[in-house]
Chain A
Amino acid sequence: MLEVKAEHLSFAYEKELVLGDVSLHAKPGDFICLLGQSGCGKSTLLRLIAGLEKSDPNQLQVGGKPVEKPSLDRAMVFQDYGLFPWMSAGANIDLALKQKFPDWSKEKRKETTLLWMNNLGLEESLYDKLPLDLSGGQRQRFATARAFALDAPLMLMDEPFGALDAVTKALLQDTVLQLWDKEEQRKTVFFVTHSVDEALLLATDIVVLGQSPSRVIYTHHFEEGHRPQRDTMFSDPEVMELRNTLFRIIDQEIQSKAKAAREAGV
């Protein structure tokens, strides 16, 4: 539901410029998939939006306001480290709920936690397990459940399904899409991925970042009702053409980077 606007956003860690000139506009309810080669600054962009890194107030605005510090309005799903290992997986969600809804009773929090666990296909018996005793996929689902339970208007997901097997991944993609889709006021989602197909399946908008210091080199917007579906997208020539285009663009970036590296090497 929150709008995100980046205008000529640039960012450097110490001296190393990572984001060169990134402009993008996420309207409320957009599902933005960020593509781009490793190291191009996708995570960095997410961290800026989350408020974990400082940004220029004129260059980046969320909900019309500059980003000053992290907030419960912007739920982050970290790739790993999403859960505190010293408390049970359920307690992790409970802690987040306690923060977001301070006047809820203990019972209500537990009920909500179990509801979201159920939504993500997690059995009730996993509530008391330590993150360490869960599988990678279960951990990722708990982290995702926590983000959804926070009911934040903006969700920032950094390669949340990167390390999962194909079946679990497909299941979670569908779940996330359903949960996002069924709401009257859809959340705005930023979703980083390495997979073109994942992006095609989830996004309302695909944004490709070039090599660092990066800028947006390609965007594609799907009209409502024309978004690719898992069962039909591979037989849809239009989607396949877009898929080829995306692969080509990303590949070109990699080639030109390799070339630049070769030239710099001589």
Chain B
Amino acid sequence: MKNLCKKYLGIISIGLGLVIFYVLLTDVFNVLSDFLFPSLGQVISLIPDYIGQLLEGLVSSLGLLVTSYVLAVLCGVSLGTLVGLKAGLRKNLNPYITAFSAIPVPLLTPYAINIFPTFRLASIFLIWLGAFWVILGTTVGAVQSIDKRYLENAATLELPPVTRLFRVILPAASPTILVGCSVALNLSFMMLAVAEMFGASSGMAFFIQYYSDFARFDLVMLGFLFVAAVLVTIMCLFDLLKARILHWTLNN
């Protein structure tokens, strides 16, 4: 525990600094309008009453996020590997991958709502799409630029396709693929917020949107803090997973 505190001393002190700064600006010197920037004490006192709603929102948001993101990773990595390995496919598909990934996914919202029977499916599609293009693009690049010597090494061992894929190609490409996955994770947070703003009836971003319509900025602030905590947790988990997969690289 003591070690843990020591390791995160920097992070903890910056956090405390931010809290003190906010308290100084609001409660102590009243620099900020207390309507838009409620005092922290007030925000915290709201937790017991609203924690139920927040948790419900969390479950709903995570449902959307995890489903879409996992699907995006599966589709992106498998298709990307296929395209990356086949020079012919790559040559013919690359312009289209680039072109489609250039379309800002939020602009597709009206299409998604019209095409899919439910808002939830439309949301999943939009979040999926946002993450998918990035993962697809980086995976194609990653697989294509695998050091030829690893592939030759695999060839002299006559590794069969499946072994070659899982023991050579994916590990060799994993550092780059994971960069894509982390960009895609950030994008899917953003798309989650977009998606929840149009059709959701619960969710973390919905919570913020809903109470900001009523000008309840104390609750908006509570929502922000809650979302921030969730995002930080997810990012930490992602980094743990990443460090585990990339344990063999120099950077870890």
* Assembly CA distance A84 to B152 (angstroms): 11
Which residues of A have CB within 8 Å of B147? 81
The answer on a CB contact under 8 Å between B156 and A95 is no
- Is A216 located at the chain interface by the 8 A CB criterion? no
* Assembly CA distance A202 to B172 (angstroms): 35
Rounded to whole Å, the gap between the CB of B93 and the closest CB of chain A is: 26
Which residues of A have CB within 8 Å of B2? none
Q: Looking across the interface, which residue of chain A has its beta carbon closest to that of B159?
A: A99
* Assembly CA distance A80 to B157 (angstroms): 16
Which residues of B have CB within 8 Å of A69? 155
Q: How big is the B interface, by class? A: 20 to 34
Check A50/B149 contact, CB under 8 A, given A84-B167, A85-B248: no
- Is B106 located at the chain interface by the 8 A CB criterion? no
- Interface bits B176-207 vs A (CB < 8 Å: 1, else 0): 00000000000000000000000000000000
Check A78/B149 contact, CB under 8 A, given A86-B171, A95-B167, A132-B250: yes
The answer on a CB contact under 8 Å between A72 and B149 is no
- Is A141 located at the chain interface by the 8 A CB criterion? no
- For chain A, residues 159 to 202, give those with C-beta under 8 angstroms from any C-beta of chain B: none
Give the secondary structure class of A's interface.
loop
The answer on a CB contact under 8 Å between A72 and B153 is no
Which residues of A have CB within 8 Å of B248? 85-87, 130, 132
Which residues of A have CB within 8 Å of B250? 132
Q: Which 6 A-B pairs have the closest CB atoms?
A: A86-B171, A81-B149, A70-B155, A86-B248, A70-B156, A76-B156
Binding site for B on A (CB under 8 A): 50-52, 69-72, 74-76, 78, 80-82, 84-87, 95-96, 99, 130, 132
Q: A52-B155, A87-B171 given; name 12 further pairs at CB < 8 Å.
A: A52-B156, A72-B156, A72-B157, A78-B149, A80-B149, A84-B150, A85-B248, A86-B248, A87-B167, A95-B157, A99-B158, A130-B248
